[in-house]
Amino acid sequence: MRVISCKNYEQMSKIAAGFIKTLVQAKPEAVLGLATGSTPEGLYKELVSAYQNGELDFSQVHTVNLDEYEGLGPQHEQSYRYFMNDKLFKHINVKEENTYVPDGLAKNIEAMLADYEALIDSFGGVDLQLLGLGHDGHIGFNEPCDHFEQKTHRVKLNSITLEANKRFFANIDEVPKYAYTQGIGSIMKAKQIVMIVSGADKKEILHKVLYGPVCPEVPASILQFHKNVIVIADEKALA
């Protein structure tokens, strides 16, 4: 794992955006694995600026998101589809039909999950997977458990995640209790992984991810076994 230490959130966002810019400029048909949460918001602003300045063209890019809340549709402001449209897609020239987020309203859940995994495989794994880090060590919505989940699956969110994400909802009861997420195996298929981490509240979990044992109780620790991972974190998270 390569670790890049940044002064602050702004520098982290710029440096991480730089990796995506370089990829899209070199490979206009790149497949980007994208993430939600507060951490990537600055990075998405950087990409929008680069597009507006004429530095980037997303017309051939495909995007595959990590996860979605069960029961939330694209119109729900806290759905991850809405987040991606709002923060990135509607500001750039990516084609809507080339953007993929698990369907939070799927009727046939098993079929939707299998199709999502097949989609990732059809690309041979994404070119670059962007990741944030949950307070409990989750990536996507792969919560700590006793095994690494291989494929895109349905997951019950744990109390740490519900607590962390309640800030986006009226109260904790409004936070969906289940989600659909790429598995650890799906994420590990990516050719390159860029994980961004910011803030003092992530420093203990980040230390475990980087230097602790690789174990499913700290899902992101599996990244120690991926051959092309860059962790871009600010000084507070790396303290």
CA distance 200 to 228: 25
Which strand (E) or helix (H) includes residue 164? helix 159-165
CB of 111 to ligand GLP, least distance (A): 22
Is residue 163 annotated as part of the catalytic site, yes or no? no
Is residue 146 annotated as part of the catalytic site, yes or no? no
The footprint of ligand GLP on this chain (CB under 6 A) covers a number of residues equal to: 14
Is residue 76 annotated as part of the catalytic site, yes or no? no
Q: Nearer to ligand GLP by C-beta: 31 or 157? A: 157
- Which residue is catalytic, options 68, 70, 117, 138? 138
Cα atoms in the Cβ-side hemisphere of radius 13 Å centred on 171: 1
CB of 80 to ligand GLP, least distance (A): 8
Residue 182 interacting with ligand GLP (CB under 6 A): no
Select from 34, 8, 3, 227 the least CA-distant residue to 139: 34
Residues 6+ apart with CB under 8 A from 138: 144, 161, 219, 220
Select the residue interacting with ligand GLP from 103, 141, 190, 220 (CB under 6 A).
Answer: 141
DSSP β-ladder status, 31-34 and 62-65 = parallel
**In Å, how far from its chain's centre is CA 190?**
12
Is residue 67 annotated as part of the catalytic site, yes or no? yes
Residues 24-53: x where in contact with ligand GLP by CB under 6 A, - otherwise, as a string: -----------xxxxx--------------
Q: Which residues bind ligand GLP (CB under 6 A)?
A: 35-39, 66-67, 132-134, 140-141, 161, 165
Residues annotated as part of the active site:
67, 136, 138, 143
